[in-house]
Amino acid sequence: MRWILLGPPGAGKGTQAALLTKKFNLPHIATGDLLRQAVREQTPLGLEAKSYIDKGELVPDNLVTNLVKDKLSNIDMEKGFILDGFPRNISQAESLDIFLDNNHKPIDAVIYLATEEQTIIQRLSGRRVCQSCEANFHIKNVPPKKEGICDYCGAKLIQRDDDKPQTIKNRIKIYNQKTKDLIEYYNKKNILKQVSGDLESDKVLALLQNFLKTGR
């Protein structure tokens, strides 16, 4: 199972990736998480990526593509993986295709979580993340047991800087300008599976498991 999760910010890619990787014991490669970790650790990549992330812009392709290739090179691609938040434009998709073709491990399916703008804004503005383990919560939909505290590790929950209203708008704009083109790109390759990202996460997961079983 070599899957890409595609969709606008707030579509539930991270949530589904976490559920699927737990269920199938697969590596979850989330470029947003990897970049935020690099920012926290102040690595050269993190220092370069920070200003792009803060504005809701895409981090330059070569940085992100090398990061993903590096991660993929260190896992057993035969067993599978889930890519979340990558690729984000055609150029990244082409680089990924070349890398995977060279390794004879093509993508099996691209799951497109089609999501209304209203849902995106509601989800992102209420999202809170654990500053330590990156677990996601939502003030209404998935509240933590104790307000402001992570259920899993007890660290403080924060609002991501790029989940604030002005940056949300820019992230949606960038998605519409650049990432949306990938729907057609993968549709042409006959590997696109569309699922509604407006549904609750357990319903989306059930649809994905059914797709895995039946191919439909």
Nearest to 75 by CA among 9, 25, 123: 25
Q: How many CB atoms are closer than 10 A to CB 79?
A: 12
Find the helix packing angle between 90-102 and 61-73, rounded to 10°. 30
User: What residues numbered 86-125 form the site for ligand AMP, per CB under 6 A?
Assistant: 86-88, 92
Nearer to ligand AMP, 87 or 197 (CB): 87
Distance CA 51, CA 55 (A): 6
Q: State yes or no: is 216 an active-site residue.
A: no
Q: Are 110 and 186 in contact (CB under 8 A)?
A: yes
Q: Around 60, how many Cα atoms within 13 Å sit in the side-chain half-sphere?
A: 8
Q: State yes or no: is 128 an active-site residue.
A: no
Q: Are 56 and 168 in contact (CB under 8 A)?
A: yes
Three-state SS annotation for 87-118: CCCHHHHHHHHHHHHHCCCCCCEEEEEECCHH
Site string for ligand AMP, 11-40 (x = CB under 6 A): --------------------xx--x-----
58 touches ligand AMP (CB under 6 A):
yes
Select the residue interacting with ligand AMP from 123, 127, 171, 193 (CB under 6 A): 171
52 touches ligand AMP (CB under 6 A):
yes
Output the residue with the shortest Cβ distance to ligand AMP. 32
Q: Are 120 and 204 in contact (CB under 8 A)?
A: no
β-bridge partners, 198: none
83 touches ligand AMP (CB under 6 A):
no
Select the residue interacting with ligand AMP from 7, 12, 56, 197 (CB under 6 A): 56
Q: Tell me which stretch binds ligand AMP (CB under 6 A): 48-56, 108-116, 149-157, 185-193.
A: 48-56
Nearer to ligand AMP, 51 or 210 (CB): 51
Q: Is residue 87 reached through a cis peptide bond, with omega within 30 degrees of 0 on the bond before it?
A: yes
Site string for ligand AMP, 127-156 (x = CB under 6 A): ------------------------------
For ligand AMP, the binding residues (CB under 6 A) are 9, 31-32, 35, 52-53, 56-59, 64, 85-88, 92, 162, 171
